[in-house]
């Protein structure tokens, strides 16, 4: 099953700094690059790059207002990740008719 979208999503969220930025935008809503930089622990260009990657993954949207750029989280973009997880659990359940599997799950 080839899903470059999921690949990109996982890769994007795989970096702790980047995921922290996304998480912050989810928690606190829209923020400017400067505000994000202030508590990101890395330089402003680094933040801009991370935001670029998040943007490409569809995880954030941007809004230019004067010389400021505001970024906002788009949690809907996490859907493929949820789908994938459900699918993995689904395969698991589908094999539950295997007695060994069932037993192993019960004593866990």
Pick 45 or 88: Cβ nearer its own copies: 88
What is the Cβ-side half-sphere exposure of residue 12, based on CA atoms within 13 angstroms?
24
Is 75 an interacting residue with respect to DNA (CB under 7 A)?
Answer: no
Pick 3 or 17: Cβ nearer DNA: 17
- Cβ-Cβ contacts under 8 Å for 102 (sequence gap 6 or more): 96
Stretch that binds its own copies, among 39-47, 50-58, 96-104 (CB under 8 A): 96-104
- Measured in whole angstroms, the distance separating CA 65 from the mean position of its chain's CA atoms is 25
Is 56 an interacting residue with respect to DNA (CB under 7 A)?
Answer: no
**Which residues of the chain form beta strands (DSSP E)?**
31-32, 60-65, 68-73
Is 101 an interacting residue with respect to its own copies (CB under 8 A)?
Answer: yes
Q: By CB under 8 A, name the one of 34, 41, 52, 75 that touches its own copies.
A: 75
Pick 27 or 67: Cβ nearer DNA: 67
Is 5 an interacting residue with respect to DNA (CB under 7 A)?
Answer: no
- Measured in whole angstroms, the distance separating CA 39 from the mean position of its chain's CA atoms is 19
């Amino acid at each position: 099953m080839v899903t470059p979208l999921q690949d990109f999503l996982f890769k994007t969220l795989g970096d702790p700094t980047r995921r922290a930025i996304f998480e912050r935008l989810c928690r606190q809503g829209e923020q400017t690059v400067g505000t994000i930089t202030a508590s990101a622990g890395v330089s402003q260009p680094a933040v801009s790059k991370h935001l670029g990657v998040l943007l490409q993954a569809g995880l954030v949207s941007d809004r230019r207002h004067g010389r400021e750029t505001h970024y906002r989280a788009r949690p809907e973009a996490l859907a493929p990740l949820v789908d994938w997880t459900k699918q993995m659990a689904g395969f698991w359940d589908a094999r539950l008719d295997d007695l060994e599997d069932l037993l192993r799950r019960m004593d866990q």
